């Protein structure tokens, strides 16, 4: 065996070599005093360092971290889910009745003591354009005479931006950092996209499906957290927020979420 | 599904805290880093690819946040580490003192290293990851992990000296520069 490299000696100390390699190193070490000295460096700075930092392994995880991961306090979460559910149902029932997509903003005071619910905020201004669906007899059954359609900036992002990449840092006065999250084909044949953006009152989650005329019908959209509530200014979505979108996706989706190649093809072909 | 993910995340917290403690050299700063990591993981859960390791993904977030933090607020997070070392090592006063001084020396030594090197030490030597796991988390080849790790440990040995190893480092014999 040739000269023992530092990497080999280190891997030997760290138990990263297989038995045959270990044996070769042992034999080489027997004849190489200089390598033994180098070996000592890696022994002194090896996994024994873990002992110095083992305090987190011996003590309980601070409750504020656990609460943070668990999300919004359970006494409050159902109220949100219920309210969201009602609104969603009433929209489906009361078609033709005009109402704006309410934005529920959850404030998570992440500083220090953990997640504290600040409260429920008021309705956002309508940021979607509201208009009647075209008078088109061939339109799919799900098109209603009163639907929420994506406004220009959102339509542009949904039409052109790949999932997972923030687009249009300042999409409009009402939205920043728009992020298409995923794309899928719905059972009714439409392509739908989940998205997020920073609205005026915090992060907003949404889901829209593309209609045959090129409009994006917004099926669901709501705010999840007060802007700047997070320790570094990013906002926090509770479990029920994600679940609310996931449930809609699950109900609509046919097959799997599209891969990035398929999605790129769709964008390229203008969603046809 | 969502609750399962949260439960998983909670089960990762002890190791994540140790990792953050090693990176920051300070238990409180480490917990702040863990908190930021959790917030980011929860808000970007859609970016985690199911089927890949959720834990590795969170460690990756932690090291990214730490790297960003080093760039923007090095001064504030690099306060003298090791003040909580008195809780280490039990009742034997001498051991406590030894451990404390060694922890301080190692933390200061790690802080001297380029972040790409201290991260690989934290992952392999402190969190006990294999080279392959560290490579996955850092998104670099295994060979890069090995060369960084060897370089980091040679440097750490010089920086920390007696406190780390109980042996005198042979400074005049230290290989400096590239591994062969």
Structure tokens at B153: 């440990």
Q: Which ranges in B113-141 belong to alpha helices (H)? A: 115-121, 131-138
Report the DSSP pairing between strands A216-225 and A202-210: antiparallel
Core vs surface per residue A166-198: b (16+ CB within 10 A) or e:
bbbeebeebbbebbbbbbbbbeeebbbbbbbbb
Number of domains in chain A: 2
Task: Examine the domain organization and report whether A232 and A258 are in the same domain.
Answer: yes
* Chain B contact present for A132, CB below 8 A: no
Task: Examine the domain organization and report whether A197 and A254 are in the same domain.
Answer: yes
- Of A16, A31, A56, the residue at which a domain comes to its end is A56
Domain presence at residue A1:
no
Write the DSSP string, A40-60: HHHHHTSGGGGGGG-HHHHSP
Lowest mean pLDDT among A250-254, B132-136, B145-149: A250-254
Structure tokens at A207: 């889901």
Is the separation of the CB atoms in B120 and B134 below 8 Å?
yes
User: How far is A177 from A167, CA to CA, in rounded Å?
Assistant: 6
Contacts with A223 from chain B: Cβ below 8 Å = none
Residue B129 pLDDT grade (very low, low, confident, very high; cuts 50, 70, 90)? very high
What are B59-87's pLDDT values in tens digits?
A: 999 998 888 887 765 444 444 444 444 44
Please give the pLDDT value at position A45: 92
Please give the pLDDT value at position A100: 30
What are B30-45's pLDDT values in tens digits?
A: 998 999 899 889 888 8
Task: Examine the domain organization and report whether A17 and A94 are in the same domain.
Answer: no
* Chain B contact present for A54, CB below 8 A: yes
- Of A41, A56, A71, the residue at which a domain comes to its end is A56
**Which domain, by its residues, includes A52?**
6-56
- Return the axis-axis angle of helices B142-160 and A6-13, rounded to nearest 10°: 90
Task: Examine the domain organization and report whether A116 and A35 are in the same domain.
Answer: no
Distance from CA of B17 to the nearest CA of A (A): 6
What pTM, to 2 d.p., does this model score? 0.50
Is the separation of the CB atoms in A204 and B12 below 8 Å?
no
* Chain B contact present for A113, CB below 8 A: no
Please give the pLDDT value at position A147: 66
Please give the pLDDT value at position B154: 95
pLDDT at B134 over 90: yes
Positions of chain A with pLDDT under 70: 1-2, 72-147, 166-174, 225-242
Task: Examine the domain organization and report whether A142 and A239 are in the same domain.
Answer: yes
pLDDT at B146 over 80: yes
Is residue A63 classed as helix, strand or coil in its secondary structure? helix
Class of the CATH domain delimited by B2-173 = mainly alpha
């Amino acid at each position: 065996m040739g000269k023992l490299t530092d990497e080999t000696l280190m891997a030997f100390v760290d138990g990263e070599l297989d038995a045959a390699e270990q044996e070769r190193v042992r034999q080489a070490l027997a004849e190489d005093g200089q390598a033994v000295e180098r070996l000592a460096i890696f022994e002194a700075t090896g996994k024994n360092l873990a002992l110095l930092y083992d305090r987190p392994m011996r003590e309980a995880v601070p409750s504020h971290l656990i609460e943070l991961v668990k999300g919004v306090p359970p006494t409050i979460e159902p109220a949100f889910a219920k309210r969201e559910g009602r609104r969603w149902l009433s929209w489906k029932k009361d078609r033709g009745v005009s109402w704006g997509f309410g934005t529920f903003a959850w404030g998570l005071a992440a500083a220090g003591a953990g997640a504290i619910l600040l409260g429920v905020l008021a309705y956002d201004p309508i940021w979607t354009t509201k208009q009647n669906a075209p008078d088109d007899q061939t339109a799919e059954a799900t098109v209603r005479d009163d639907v929420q359609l994506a406004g220009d900036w959102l339509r542009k992002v949904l039409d052109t931006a790949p999932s997972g990449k923030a687009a249009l840092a300042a999409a409009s006065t009402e939205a920043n950092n728009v992020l298409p999250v995923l794309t899928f084909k719905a059972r009714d044949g439409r392509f739908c996209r989940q998205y997020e953006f920073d609205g005026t009152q915090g992060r907003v989650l949404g889901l829209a499906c593309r209609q045959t005329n090129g409009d994006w019908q917004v099926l669901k959209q709501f705010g999840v957290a007060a802007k700047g509530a997070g320790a570094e200014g990013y906002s926090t979505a509770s479990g029920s927020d994600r679940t609310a979108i996931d449930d809609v996706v699950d109900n609509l989706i046919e097959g799997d979420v599209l891969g990035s190649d398929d999605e790129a093809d769709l964008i390229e072909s203008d969603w046809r | 599904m969502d609750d399962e993910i949260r439960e998983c995340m909670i089960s990762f917290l002890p190791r994540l805290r140790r990792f953050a403690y090693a990176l920051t050299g300070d238990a409180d700063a480490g917990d702040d880093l863990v908190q930021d990591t959790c917030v980011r993981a929860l808000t970007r859960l859609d970016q985690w690819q199911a089927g890949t390791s959720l834990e590795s993904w969170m460690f990756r977030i932690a090291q990214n946040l730490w790297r960003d933090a080093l760039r923007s607020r090095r001064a504030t997070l690099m306060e003298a580490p090791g003040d909580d070392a008195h809780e280490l090592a039990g009742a034997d006063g001498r051991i406590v003192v030894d451990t404390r001084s060694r922890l301080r020396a190692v933390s200061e030594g790690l802080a001297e290293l380029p972040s790409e090197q201290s991260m690989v030490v934290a992952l392999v030597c402190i969190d006990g990851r294999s080279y392959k796991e560290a490579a996955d988390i850092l998104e670099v080849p295994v060979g890069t992990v090995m060369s960084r790790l060897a370089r980091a440990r040679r440097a750490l040995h010089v920086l920390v000296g007696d406190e780390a190893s109980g042996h005198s480092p042979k400074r005049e014999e230290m290989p400096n520069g590239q591994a062969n």
